Amino acid sequence: MRADFPFAAPGQVIGLLGGSFDPAHAGHAHITREALKRFGLDHVWWLVSPGNPLKASGPAPLDKRMRHARAVMQHPHVTVTDIEAKLGTRYTAQTLAKLVARYPRVRFVWLMGADNLAQLHLWQDWRQIMETVCVGVLARPGQRISARMSRAAMLYAPYRIPGRYSRLLARAQAPAWSFVNVPMVDVSSTAIRASGAWTSAQTG
Ligand SMILES: Nc1ncnc2c1ncn2[C@@H]1O[C@H](COP(=O)(O)OP(=O)(O)OP(=O)(O)O)[C@@H](O)[C@H]1O
Ligand SMILES: O=C(O)c1ccc[n+]([C@@H]2O[C@H](COP(=O)([O-])O)[C@@H](O)[C@H]2O)c1
């Protein structure tokens, strides 16, 4: 295994939080800490995306986003990575296929905020994602209803693990997903960008 890919021991359960992180903020850090606890994860890897395939405008340079993400998320069980740039993937289904092949004895759980569950049916090969890994969804302000009524939530309703049993997700067989009603932090990258603070930020 190449040294620039993070280490994971056989049998470990790794949560993957993909995002633009343009910029990373307290909401990302909060759901990551909650995910570690609520889904019984050993570790979380942040996948700082080369660029969301559904977003028209490109994000800030990857190295700037990585530096800032590392400053925001300092936790012994969290690693900030640019794995997708290294793998040459942008679509989550492709990323997961490559990670599963590269780490055959590791269990991956895809993590996302409720807004992403509401949109999941627009992602490339989204059903393949649901069939490949377990999915942990964390509440986000204003998104509870759209997430619960989403196409993904409806179609995969029989495979939902109730939030009170969310720790079972780590050992479940895909398809399986769980929505947890964690306390919410009302922060977004959009709002930070709109404030101008990120454009002028010199991180690192
Ligand atoms: N405050 C939050 N509460 C819950 N989930 C969040 C929050 N902020 C981000 N997330 C989740 O983190 C992941 C990465 O988010 P992303 O980097 O797009 O941040 P964002 O604040 O949603 O950005 P933008 O405003 O540019 O869309 C997504 O799954 C998103 O749902
Ligand atoms: O695979 C797709 O079609 C796809 C479409 C939209 C978003 N994603 C992924 O979803 C994650 C969150 O994206 P974002 O930009 O909302 O932070 C990030 O890992 C993206 O690569 C993936």
For 78-123, the pLDDT digits (tens) are 999 999 999 999 999 999 999 999 999 999 999 999 999 999 999 9
Instruction: Judge contact between 166 and 183, C-beta under 8 A.
Output: no
CA atoms of 184 and 173, how far apart (whole Å)? 28
Name the H helices within 58-160: 62-72, 83-87, 92-102, 114-119, 126-132, 144-148, 151-155
Q: From the CA of 53, how far away is ligand 2's center (Å)? A: 7
Residue nearest to atom 14 of ligand 2 (CA): 19
Q: From the CA of 134, how far away is ligand 2's center (Å)? A: 16
Place of tokens 């290294």: 86
CA atoms of 105 and 169, how far apart (whole Å)? 17
Average pLDDT over all residues of the chain: 94
CA atoms of 188 and 21, how far apart (whole Å)? 10
The preferred substitution site among 20, 21, 150 for testing ligand 1, maximizing ligand atoms within 8 Å of CB, is: 20
Backbone angles phi, psi at 161, to 5 degrees: -95, 120
The preferred substitution site among 21, 25, 30, 31 for testing ligand 1, maximizing ligand atoms within 8 Å of CB, is: 31
ipTM for the complex shown: 0.99
Q: From the CA of 27, how far away is ligand 1's center (Å)? A: 7
The CA-based angle 121-48-45, given to 5 degrees, is: 90
What beta strand segments (E) does the chain contain? 13-19, 43-48, 78-81, 107-113, 134-138, 177-180
Place of tokens 């850090």: 29
Output the furthest CA–CA distance in the chain (Å, rounded).
Answer: 47
Which CATH number does the domain 13-203 belong to among 3.20.20.10, 1.10.260.40, 3.10.20.30, 3.40.50.620? 3.40.50.620
Q: Would strands 78-81 and 43-48 be described as parallel, antiparallel, or unpaired?
A: parallel
Ligand number nearest CA of 188 is: 1
In short, whether 19's Cβ falls inside 6 Å of ligand 2 is: yes
Residues of the chain with pLDDT under 70: 1-3, 202-204
Q: What is the pLDDT of residue 27?
A: 98
Ligand 1: residues with CB < 6 A are 17, 19-22, 27-28, 31, 112-113, 115-116, 138, 140, 185, 187-190
Q: From the CA of 50, how far away is ligand 1's center (Å)? A: 15
Domain range annotation of the chain: 13-203
pTM: 0.97
